[in-house]
Structure 1
Amino acid sequence: MSPAEIRKLEAYLKKTFNGVDLSVRGMPRKTDSAELYIKDEFVGLIAKDTEEGELSYHLTMTILDIDLE
């Protein structure tokens, strides 16, 4: 993803999650995805989708059962 897209996504997520210390980081050699971190912990992958001419972003986050204890 472009640096401009990453900045927009990061601003949107910070606003949505009330200023949580998060960052969106680009991935080398990937133009359609970025990683989401809270503090310095990886929490998910953001993928860009341009299906049927509409641009959207999808966040995939895995939650382990040990994290719920």
Structure 2
Amino acid sequence: MKPDEIKKLDAYFKRAFQNPRLQVKARPRKEDSAEVYLGDEFLGIVFKDEEDGDYNFSMAILDIDLN
């Protein structure tokens, strides 16, 4: 993703979840997506749908995290 897209997504996540600790970061070897963190904890991946320009957020929830 382009830096301006990442900046917009970063602002969106902070505003939508009312949490300034959320961060959207570029992925080291992937240009089609970005990583979402809460502080140092990895939360998930944001992908851009090139056909319609929408973004999709994917977050895995581990069973051990629910206990």
TM-score, L = length of structure 1: 0.89
Runs of 4+ in 1 over 2 A off after TM superposition: none
What is the aligned residue count? 67
Question: Is the aligned partner of 1:14 residue 2:14?
Answer: yes
Displacement, 1:50?
1.7
Provide the secondary structure at the position in 1 that maps to 2:46: strand
Q: C-alpha distance in 2, partners of 1:67/1:35?
A: 19
Once superposed, what is the RMSD of the aligned Cα atoms? Answer: 1.0
Deviation at 1:20, TM superposition (A): 4.3
The one-letter code matched in structure 2 to 1:56 is D
Give the letter aligned to residue 58 of structure 2: T
What is the CA deviation profile of residues 17-60 of structure 1, one whole-angstrom value per residue up to 9, with x for unaligned ones? 01241111101232210100011011101111122xx2011100
Structure 2 gaps, min length 5? none
Question: 1: CA distance between counterparts of 2:31 and 2:61?
Answer: 25
**Matched residues in 1 for 2:17 and 2:55: separation?**
16
CA–CA distance in 1 between the matches of 2:20 and 2:7? 15
